[in-house]
Amino acid sequence: MDRGKVYLVGAGPGDPKLITVRGLKALQRCDVVVYDRLAGPQLLQETRPDAERIYVGKRPDRHTMKQEEINRLLLDLALEGKVVCRLKGGDPTVFGRVGEEAELLQRHGVPYEIVPGITSAIAVPAYAGIPVTHRDMASSFSIVTGHESPDKLDRTIQWDKVTNATGTLLFLMGVAKIGYISEQLMKHGRPASTPVALVRWGTRAEQATLTGTLGDIEEKVRAAGFEPPAVIVVGEVVRQRETLKWIESKPLFGWRVLVTRARSQASELAERIDDLGGEPYVFPVIETVRQQQPAEIARIHAALAEAGSYDWVILTSVSGVEHFWAWLAETRTDIRRFAKARFAAVGPKTAEALLARGVISEALPAKYQAEGLLDSLGGQLAPGQRALLPRGDLAREVLPAELTKAGVEAVELDVYENRLVVQEDDTLAEMLANGEIHAITFTSSSTVVNLLEALRRIGIDRPAEKLQGCVVACIGPITARTAEELGLQVTLTAEEATIESLLEAMTKYRAASRV
């Protein structure tokens, strides 16, 4: 068997967008990803669905796998002919022991690449508003390990030289030794008034910063119960934090938000959450697929063959627009055959999808749901008219029922199917157990139903109870009603059934909760 290849990749400090393009490509092509605790959990979603995931990270209370065992694992996987991505937090060459892993691969002739990452020593302070250099405060910096025992620190660190060698000192993995580090720095010439900052879980939703001086930081750490992992920053640059703490000023900072939309639609919501300072965690529980049932396909063909007979074509979702146009292409139905029909849309996004295809919707309803559309079009509907409704298989029956009452013949077409998506996600299960999901967004009743079922299928019993501590944000009253019926406590509901309105409601709630 041909030998595989190992990519030794730096994942960056935690924010998944801080991985390099080269590192992301290595992750996306690998057969196996071997990752540790400090690698951003969302990055694992970038692997192929069939890629194997092996956790080898270290926790403060125990070592999941010794370094020698990790080295051997990488070698064995490569010798099996697999492409391996060894995903490490930060940069693999900065206290990442990448040299040991690469040396073993080199000795056995296994090809490998070292893909640098953004080290937490620089990125984490930056996210706390602390640049490691500043023209007026520090023109140099040092990165020092603080993880060892005091006697070993004394053997590996020349305190008399390190203390004043650079303007800024950065200690990684040194929270437990903060007292000893402070003592040595003061002993060798740094004033007790020297500013100090500890930034925990920098670039992630849990980011927290504690500031003080060399003289009082140990007591502050003890009083706050401040725990690792954290980057320690020593120097005048810490004073910049009060004016530069940029991410903490964003409205959704501190929230990890579960996004349950279909993957094809989730990116917009996830991007907006990220822009607002939140950390989106995409866990799609629904997907839309082309109609597969032969009987329904026959109905679609028959309905489109009568394109010239419709007075209305009513679309209730972006997915409906996309799949309707796909069926037009498949059946070679020219859109001009609908010249008699007027097009109507529920919601601005649906109207935008129509406009992108050269079709202008009738005036939008005040409420972006079926009931609002009927109110908006009431005066234009007339008995004897014919309306085509290209929708999904789970669409509500309100619209066709009300059209029928108005004397309009409603021709319903299930142009696509909604399917439950269940992806194995041990990370999500762990985060829910630890209370690390702070909010959940639901953009339809289907996402509510499917999330609870998906959680059950990945081994979470009584999922509605597990979500009780989360902020539940619904896009509209119908979705909210479904959530409540299934045992969830709805925290907030958007005033309008749009992503923008949902985000506005979330930011208002978050602002009130932080006061």
Residues labelled as active-site residues: 36, 58, 173
Q: Are strands 208-213 and 195-200 parallel, antiparallel or unpaired?
A: antiparallel
Contact 146, 233 (CB under 8 A): no
Question: Token digits for 408?
Answer: 């309009």
Question: Token digits for 184?
Answer: 């040595």
Question: Token digits for 74?
Answer: 């990488």
How would you write 417-485 as a 3-class SS string? EEEECCCCCHHHHHHHHCCCCCEEEECCHHHHHHHHHHHHHCCCCCHHHHCCCCEEEECCHHHHHHHHH
Residues in CB range of 504: below 8 A, 6 or more apart = 494, 495
Cβ count within 10 A of residue 24:
18
CA-CA distance, 152 to 364, in Å (whole number)? Answer: 70
Contact 88, 8 (CB under 8 A): yes
Half-sphere exposure of 117 (CA within 13 A, CB side): 36
Which one, of 295, 265, 291, lies nearest residue 280 by Cα?
A: 265
Cβ count within 10 A of residue 329:
9
Sign of CA dihedral 53, 57, 62, 64: positive
Cβ count within 10 A of residue 314:
29
Q: Phi and psi of 324, rounded to 5°?
A: -60, -45
Which one, of 172, 212, 178, 179, lies nearest residue 196 by Cα?
A: 212
What SS3 class is residue 40? coil
